[in-house]
């Protein structure tokens, strides 16, 4: 049986061993971070917060923390070389401690205009540096010194450790091992959990291999950065190759369902018809697919009773009501008996109350009851085939302290099985197929991300951030502006680190003021169902590289319309100030001309400097369909090229779902499991 979960990786040891930057580059990075977050005089009226205003990045060793974070961020060789060169060029252009702050700020803004590579590098360093400054806890107190001024209460404390974790997982054994099974499921998230449960119930011997670790209620410490390190792919939000979209995905037993926001939406009728008619998933247009969705909602005990509205959701409600827009509460996979509004706010770091009915609390428990074995810290390197058919997988047992860097394999685990289900998420699943040399020409293509823009506004009253679920309501007003494309209007949790990385940076003083007023901020988001697409490739080491240019004209229109509608909602809800996303955008204050502000935002280019976007929904990179030239798997999920290998996660979506995808992933996974069981 497993050992206790490991601690988060040791940053001091990681820094000592790092050869990411030279000493000169480190010195430039320190100055750059102090330019992003300078020591300032308190503004008039805020003199009693002098420590907050006077604290610079170097006071919290941000540059050093940033280097450690970059080590675990899965950067490609090209991105690493780009960052080194950026630091060299910054130094050559005067980024030095003796340069006045205003001069250094001009250098930052100048580099942001110097082309996509420089901008991507500046964006990465700025976002990560700010995240660390406002989220990293002091090891001595467990609290970040900025929180009190900002009004962030900090972690609630860990749940009682007397609650038994429901799963018994196997962890690193230190010796090579060979295991036999009927089915090997790679990845234990939304899709993998369902398939393991259904096939175990059908009498198959099932082995689940999960690269991340197993954490349960008592392991969740309510800290943003520790959650990123232990439960998020690549150690937390990380950029696409072009630096245009920040990606977040879960990692660990239960996958994304352990850290996600429990918004349960059924697959829309439009998408069901499209996938049936154009991609050959013909039963999706029939009631048999409703049975899959119903079974998912039943197992996750989805309900609307635990969907309290925090401040940002109240603002969404008020704005939508005044504009006559659609507004609805969401249904969530939450255990009513364990739910409290106070603990729910922290669920992005793992839900210590045990209310969240993640895959680790539901499907994997069923899988285990049916005899499935779950291995944590087992990263599958490649799929094995014999005579063109699936025959097993080869995995590395990871040392969890090194696992994020991908180089911590301590011994090998081989699973021999005639059926392999690939459910490693839409970033890692195509990488696995590419490393294995199977899947055909569409592997990694057709990536969809639901690119998401946020508009933050400030209100007179505190927004009660850390109370209630991060998502509890939404508006479908623009879900379909024609042809099934459009966007959902939702809110997003902006915890101190995430907010610090996402809020636009125009100068050190401007950014610090935004953070000072964090408690009064309300971000709303537009989540776009896109028509365009990106792709996932692998670098020479076999790690995924994500390309996502936003080239499609309709998507660009929707991103702009999304920003406009978020502005209108904030205005209608009574915001006192609305922040234009981006480095060049103007801000709006009540009394200013709203239409002129919207026109100014509309004139901005869709580039990272002006449009900060993120994606928690990765889809489509091993998609199902009829045609082996344009899809990886047949309409039931089995690879066109390799019998016995099946796709069981969001990578199997033919296109973007347009809705938060968890319920659709699970329903499709159940459908695929039944196809596998039927032989």
Ligand X SMILES: Cc1cc2nc3c(=O)[nH]c(=O)nc-3n(C[C@H](O)[C@H](O)[C@H](O)COP(=O)(O)OP(=O)(O)OC[C@H]3O[C@@H](n4cnc5c(N)ncnc54)[C@H](O)[C@@H]3O)c2cc1C
Per CB under 6 A, residues contacting ligand X are: 186-192, 209-212, 248-252, 255-257, 259-263, 348, 379-380, 423-426, 428, 432, 471, 616-617, 649-650, 660-662, 665
CB nearer to ligand X: give 111 or 214: 214
Describe the crossing of helices 62-71 and 23-36 by its angle, rounded to 10 degrees. 110
In sequence order, which residues have a C-beta less than 8 Å from that of residue 332 and are 6 or more positions away?
262, 263, 264, 302, 303, 304, 306, 307, 469, 471, 472
Residue of minimal Cβ distance to ligand X: 189
CB nearer to ligand X: give 28 or 307: 307
CB nearer to ligand X: give 122 or 383: 383
Q: Rounded CA gap, 192 and 514, in Å?
A: 41
CB nearer to ligand X: give 121 or 252: 252
DSSP string, 220-271: ----HHHHHHHHBGGGS-EE-TTS-EEE--B-STTGGGGTS--EE-PPPHHH
User: And the tokens for 295?
Assistant: 């079974």
User: The dihedral of CA 248, 68, 607, 496: what is its sign?
Assistant: positive
Describe the crossing of helices 116-135 and 101-112 by its angle, rounded to 10 degrees. 130
CB of 128 to ligand X, least distance (A): 17
CB of 94 to ligand X, least distance (A): 39
Q: Rounded CA gap, 648 and 193, in Å?
A: 9
CB nearer to ligand X: give 252 or 497: 252
Burial class (CB in 10 A: 0-12, 13-18, 19+), 348: buried
In sequence order, which residues have a C-beta less than 8 Å from that of residue 98 and are 6 or more positions away?
none
Burial class (CB in 10 A: 0-12, 13-18, 19+), 141: exposed
CB of 260 to ligand X, least distance (A): 3
CB of 265 to ligand X, least distance (A): 6
CB nearer to ligand X: give 113 or 407: 407
Which residue(s) pair with 485 in the sheet? 482
CB of 478 to ligand X, least distance (A): 19
CB of 234 to ligand X, least distance (A): 10
Q: Rounded CA gap, 466 and 636, in Å?
A: 42
CB of 395 to ligand X, least distance (A): 6
CB of 469 to ligand X, least distance (A): 9
CB nearer to ligand X: give 82 or 544: 544
In sequence order, which residues have a C-beta less than 8 Å from that of residue 600 and are 6 or more positions away?
580, 585, 586
Q: Rounded CA gap, 359 and 214, in Å?
A: 12
CB nearer to ligand X: give 235 or 255: 255
């Amino acid at each position: 049986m497993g050992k206790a979960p490991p601690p988060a990786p040791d940053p001091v040891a990681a820094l000592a061993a790092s050869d990411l930057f030279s000493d000169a580059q480190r010195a430039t990075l320190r100055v750059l971070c102090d330019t992003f977050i300078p020591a300032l005089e308190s503004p008039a009226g805020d003199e009693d917060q002098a420590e907050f205003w006077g604290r610079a990045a170097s006071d919290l060793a941000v540059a050093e923390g940033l280097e450690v974070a970059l080590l675990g961020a899965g950067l490609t060789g090209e991105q690493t070389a780009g960052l080194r060169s950026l630091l060299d060029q910054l130094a050559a252009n005067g980024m030095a401690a003796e340069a006045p702050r205003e001069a250094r700020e001009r250098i930052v803004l100048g580099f942001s205009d110097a082309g996509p590579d420089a901008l991507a590098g500046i964006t990465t360093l700025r976002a990560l540096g700010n995240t660390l400054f406002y989220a990293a806890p002091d090891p001595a107190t467990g609290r970040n010194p900025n929180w009190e001024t900002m009004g962030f209460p900090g972690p609630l404390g860990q749940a009682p450790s007397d609650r038994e974790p429901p799963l018994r997982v196997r962890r690193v054994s230190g010796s090579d091992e060979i295991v036999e099974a009927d089915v090997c499921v790679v990845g234990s998230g939304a899709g993998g959990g369902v398939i393991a449960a259904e096939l175990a119930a059908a009498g198959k011997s099932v082995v689940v291999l999960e690269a991340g670790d197993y954490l349960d209620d008592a392991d969740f410490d309510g800290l943003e950065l520790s959650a990123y390190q232990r439960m998020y792919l690549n150690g937390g939000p990380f950029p696409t190759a072009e630096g245009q979209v920040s990606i977040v995905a879960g990692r660990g037993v239960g996958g994304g369902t352990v850290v996600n926001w429990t918004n349960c939406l059924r697959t829309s009728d439009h998408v069901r018809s499209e996938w049936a008619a154009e991609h050959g998933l013909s039963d999706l247009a029939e009631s048999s697919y409703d049975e899959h969705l119903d079974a998912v909602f039943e197992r996750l005990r989805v309900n609307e009773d635990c969907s309290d509205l925090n401040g940002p959701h109240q603002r969404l409600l008020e704005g939508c009501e005044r504009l006559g827009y659609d507004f609805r509460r969401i249904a969530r996979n939450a255990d009513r008996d364990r739910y409290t509004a106070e603990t729910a706010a922290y669920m992005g770091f793992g839900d210590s109350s045990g209310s969240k009915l993640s895959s680790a609390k539901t499907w994997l428990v069923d899988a285990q009851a049916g005899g499935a074995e779950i291995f944590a810290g087992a990263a599958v390197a490649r799929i094995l085939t014999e005579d063109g058919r699936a025959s097993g997988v080869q995995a590395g047992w990871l040392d969890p302290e090194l696992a994020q860097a991908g180089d911590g394999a301590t011994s090998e685990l081989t699973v021999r099985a005639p059926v392999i289900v690939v459910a490693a998420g839409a970033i890692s699943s195509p990488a696995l197929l590419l490393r294995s040399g199977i899947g055909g020409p569409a592997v990694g293509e057709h990536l969809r991300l639901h690119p998401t823009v946020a508009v933050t506004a400030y209100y007179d009253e505190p927004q009660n951030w850390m109370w209630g679920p991060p998502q509890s309501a939404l508006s479908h007003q623009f879900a379909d502006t024609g042809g099934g494309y459009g966007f959902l209007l939702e809110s997003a949790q902006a915890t101190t680190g995430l907010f610090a990385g996402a809020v636009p940076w125009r100068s050190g003083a401007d950014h610090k003021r935004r953070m000072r007023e964090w408690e009064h901020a309300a971000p709303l988001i537009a989540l776009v169902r896109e028509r365009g697409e990106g792709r996932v490739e692998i670098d020479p080491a076999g790690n995924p590289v994500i390309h996502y240019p936003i080239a499609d004209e309709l998507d660009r229109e929707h991103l702009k319309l999304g920003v406009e509608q978020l502005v209108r909602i904030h205005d209608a809800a009574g915001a006192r100030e609305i922040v234009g996303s981006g480095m060049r955008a103007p801000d709006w204050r009540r009394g200013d001309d709203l239409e002129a502000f919207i026109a100014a935002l509309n004139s901005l280019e869709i580039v990272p400097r002006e449009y900060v976007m993120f994606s928690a929904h990765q889809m489509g990179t091993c998609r199902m369909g009829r045609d082996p030239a344009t899809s990886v798997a047949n309409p039931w999920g089995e690879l066109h090229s390799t019998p016995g290998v099946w796709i069981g996660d969001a990578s199997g979506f033919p296109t973007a779902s347009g809705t938060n995808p968890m319920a659709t992933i699970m329903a499709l996974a159940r459908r695929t499991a039944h196809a596998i069981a039927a032989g």
